Amino acid sequence: MPKQTPKTSSKNRNENPNIFGLHRETLNQPITQTLETNYMPYAMSVIVSRAIPEIDGFKPSHRKLLYTMYRMGLLTGGRTKSANIVGQTMRLNPHGDSAIYETMVRLSRGYEALLAPFVDSKGNFGKAYSRDTAYAASRYTEAKLAQICTEIFRDIDKNTVDFVDNYDSSTKEPTLLPTTFPNILVSANIGIAVGMASNICGFNLSEVCRAAIEYMKNERCDLLSVMPAPDFPTGGELLYNREEMERVYEDGRGGIRVRAKWSYVPKENIIEITEIPYTTTSEAIIDKIAELIKSGKIREISDARDETALSGLKIALDLKRGTDPDALMQKLFKLTPLQDSFGCNFNILINGIPQVLGVRGILREWTAWRMECVRRRVRSDLEKKNQKLHLLYGLRKILLDIDRAISIIRETEAESEVLPNLMIGFGIDEAQADYIAEIRLRNINREYIINRTNEISELEAAIANLKDILEKPQRVKSIISDELRAVDKKYGQPRKTAIISDFSEAEVLIEDSTPDYPVTVFVSQEGYIKKITKKSLQMASDQKFKDGDELAREFESANKNDLLVFTDKQNCYKYKLADLPDTKASSLGEFLPSVLEFEPDERVVFVCDTEDYTGSLMIFFENGKGARVSVSSYETKQNRRKLTKAYSDLSPAVAFLELKAEREVALFSTDGRCVVITTAYLEPKPTRTTQGIQTMRLRKNARLKTAAFAEDTALGDIKRYLAKAIPASGAELALEDRGYSQQTL
C-alpha cells in the first residue's frame, strides 16, 4: 500500500507555527517593528531607486536603458530591434520586458512625450496624446540613440560620474549621466512613490540653456525674463499668470493652466482642434463632449470626430447653423479637458534625499553638480597629461646619447635587466624606462625624439591651464556656459506651447436642460420608489405594491430636486429625481437598493427631497435623544453620490422628520408615555454625526419608540403632553389616545 502522509492535528499546528512558514517571534512582533523592518525598506527603495528622478533628469529605469544602448554602440551605429535592446537592458534592470519596453516608448521620438526625445525610433510607438493608439510589440520596432544623447554621455569615460556594480555584480553602471544641459528641467517627469510624488513639467531647451547661463552670472537674475514659462510637447496655449509662475519658480509647487489650440473653418462650419493640453488625450476629450451632447448641456455641436492621422492630431467639431464658435469654445474650456491644469510638484533626489525645489533651486543644484563633473573631467585630463609629460621627460634625457641607450639594451644579457640598466644609466624611473624600451627600431632617430620632446612645452602649458581651471570656479562656469551655448545652437527648437498673457475668462452660463415640473413621490416599506406626474395621478391614483409591501412615505416634489436616501448603515445616497423615469400608479417603481448600489443587507429608512439644501432634518434615537441637522451639511461640491456617517450610530434611529419651520413634535416611548416638544428647543447642527440632546427622559428598560409632528397624530389634547422644557418625562397616554398607531422604521 502507498505510504500515506500523516495529518497534522490542530494541536500540533499550534505547537509548531513553522508549518505555516511563520516563526513565533514574527507572530508576536509589534506592528511598529513590522513596519520598520518590512515596510520601510520597500518604501525607501521606491523613493530612492524607482519613482523620483535625480539631478540628471533621469529615473534609474531611464538611465539603465540609455546606458545599455550606449554600450551597444547605438549612438553612432544604425538601429536595431527594440527586443534586442530590451533583452540587453535586463543585465542592468531586472524587470520584465514589457516594463523596460514601456520606458523606451516614453523616451522615443515617435511617442512625442518629451521635448527632446532620447530614442530615435522607427515603427509604431503610439502617441502620448492618444489613449487608444497602442504601440507595436518590441519585435516589430527598431531604435537607436538620438543625436542629443551625445550631450548625455559626453566625457562619461573621463571619471565624470561614479560607477557602481549592477544587481549581480557582473558589470558596472553609472549612478548618474553627465548631461551637459539641465535635462531635469527639459524632460517632463511624473512619478508616484510611497507617501510622496513628483510631477515635473518640461521647459524649452533653448530657454533652459540661456536661463542656466544667466543664473551662473547672477543667482538673483530674473529667470522669467529668459525662461517665461514651461513648454509642453503637445503644444497648446498656456494661460500666463505671473504670480503663479513665480511661485513655481521659487517653491516648485503650483498649477499651470493650458488650453487647446483651435481654429474655425467658416466654409465648412467646423472647429478644428490641433493641439491639446499635455495632461489629457483626444479620446477623453471626445468622450466628454459626447456626454455633454447626450445630456443636453451642449446643443451647438452636431458631430465630434477624431481625425488624427500621420500629419498629427486633429479633432473636428461640426457646428449647427448660427453657432458662435468663440462662445462655444469658452463653454468647452469650462466643461471638458480642452482646458486643464498641470499640477507642479518639483520633487527630485539630491544626494539620495527627496527635496521639493523651485526652478531656481534646481538650477543651483544642477550648477553645483555640473561644476563637479567638469572638475572631475579636468582632473582626469590633468592626470593623463601629467603621465605623458613624465614619459617625455624620460625621453628627453636620452636625446643627447641615443647610442648609449642602444648600447645598454644590446649589451644587457637578460631581458629582465633592460629596464633596471636604463634606469641606472639615465637616472629615470621604471615607467620612463619601459616607455623608452618599447620605442620601435625605426623611431630611434634624432628627428623622432626631437619632435616628441617638443611636445613638452605644449603639455606644460596645457597642464598649467588645467590647474588654473581647478583653482578658479569662474573658469569652470565659463566652460559650462560654452557647452550650453553649443547645445542651444545645435539642438534648440522653437517653443511648442504659446504663452497667452492677455486672456479673458468670461463667466459661462451653462444652461440646465433638465425639464422641471411637479411630481409626487411614493416610497414603499421595502424600498421601491415611484415618481408620478399630476396628470398621471389624475388618470389613476390607486398605487400598486408587491405582496407584503405597503406605502411608507408620500410627498410632493419637483423633477429638478435632489433625493436624499438614508439607510440603516448610516449612509446617505444622493440622487437626482430627474434621473428616475416617470411612471404610473400601476407600476412597482424602481428598487432603490439596486439603483443606488447599496451594500449587502442595507435597507432604506427614510427618503426626502431638497431643492436648495435649506431647512433641517430632525433625527430621534432610541435612547431618547434628538438631533437637528442642517440639510446643507449633505450638500457637496464634488456631487458625491454616497455620503458615509450621515447620522450618529451611537443609538438606533427611530424617526426622521423633515423640518422647514418650527413645529411641535410628539415623542412616544415603549412604556406608553408621550411628550410633545417644540423644535425650537433643538438648534441646528452642521455636524451630521451629532447625537443631539436628551429630549425625553425614559424610565428603566423603556426606549423611544417613534416620533411625529403633533398635528399629524391622533392625540386629542396636545396640551396634556406639552413639555415646558427638555428633557421631559411626559405623561401616560390617555385611553382615547392609545389607539394611535404611528409607522416606525
Q: What angle do CA 292, 293, 296 make, to 5 degrees?
A: 85
Query: How many angstroms separate the CA atoms of 57 and 350, rounded?
Result: 11
Q: Residue range 357-369: average pLDDT?
A: 96
Query: How many angstroms separate the CA atoms of 516 and 383, rounded?
Result: 86
Q: Is the dihedral of CA 404, 407, 412, 417 positive or negative?
A: positive
Q: Residue range 305-326: average pLDDT?
A: 90
- Model confidence over 370-421: pLDDT tens digits? 999 999 999 999 999 999 999 888 888 877 678 888 888 888 888 888 888 8
Encode 57-88: b = buried (16+ Cβ within 10 Å), e = exposed.
Answer: bbbbbbbbbbbbbbebebbeeebbebbebbeb
Q: Which residue has the higher pLDDT, 67 or 292?
A: 67
**pLDDT for 737 beyond 90:** no
Query: How many angstroms separate the CA atoms of 258 and 236, rounded?
Result: 6
Residues 6+ apart with CB under 8 A from 475: 468, 469
- Model confidence over 75-126: pLDDT tens digits? 998 999 999 999 999 999 888 899 999 999 999 999 999 999 999 999 999 9
User: Cβ(223)–Cβ(71) under 8 Å?
Assistant: no
How would residue 45 be classed by pLDDT, with cut points 50, 70 and 90?
confident
Average pLDDT over the chain, rounded to an integer: 88
Bond preceding residue 94 cis, omega within 30 of 0: no
Range of lowest pLDDT (15-29, 259-273, 339-353, 474-488): 15-29
- Model confidence over 690-715: pLDDT tens digits? 889 999 999 888 999 999 998 888 88
Q: Residue range 260-283: average pLDDT?
A: 94
**pLDDT for 509 beyond 60:** no
Domains of the chain: 52-179 (3.90.199.10), 261-337 (3.30.1360.40), 365-490 (1.10.268.10), 518-737 (2.120.10.90)
Q: Residue range 450-473: average pLDDT?
A: 90
Residues 6+ apart with CB under 8 A from 61: 50, 93, 95, 99, 100, 103
- Model confidence over 623-643: pLDDT tens digits? 999 999 999 998 876 667 889
Of 101, 111, 135, 140, the active-site residue reads 140
**β partners of residue 562:** 576, 610
- Model confidence over 1-39: pLDDT tens digits? 444 444 444 444 444 444 344 455 556 778 888 888 888
How would residue 294 be classed by pLDDT, with cut points 50, 70 and 90?
confident
Encode 322-354: b = buried (16+ Cβ within 10 Å), e = exposed.
Answer: ebebeebbbbbbebbbbbbebebbbbbbeeeeb
Cell of 102: 514601456
**β partners of residue 145:** 119
Is-catalytic flag, 140?
Answer: yes
Q: How many CB atoms lie within 10 A of CB 56?
A: 25
Residue type, 676: V
Q: How much is the pLDDT for 30?
A: 84
Helix (H, G, I), strand (E, B) or coil at 720: helix
Q: How much is the pLDDT for 152?
A: 96
**pLDDT for 322 beyond 90:** no
Cell of 34: 513590522
- Euclidean distance between the first and final Cα of the chain, in Å? 66
How would residue 512 be classed by pLDDT, with cut points 50, 70 and 90?
low
Cell of 475: 573658469
- Model confidence over 175-204: pLDDT tens digits? 999 999 999 999 999 998 888 899 999 999
How would residue 438 be classed by pLDDT, with cut points 50, 70 and 90?
confident
Cell of 140: 516589430
pTM of the complete model beyond 0.95:
no
Query: How many angstroms separate the CA atoms of 728 and 224, rounded?
Result: 71
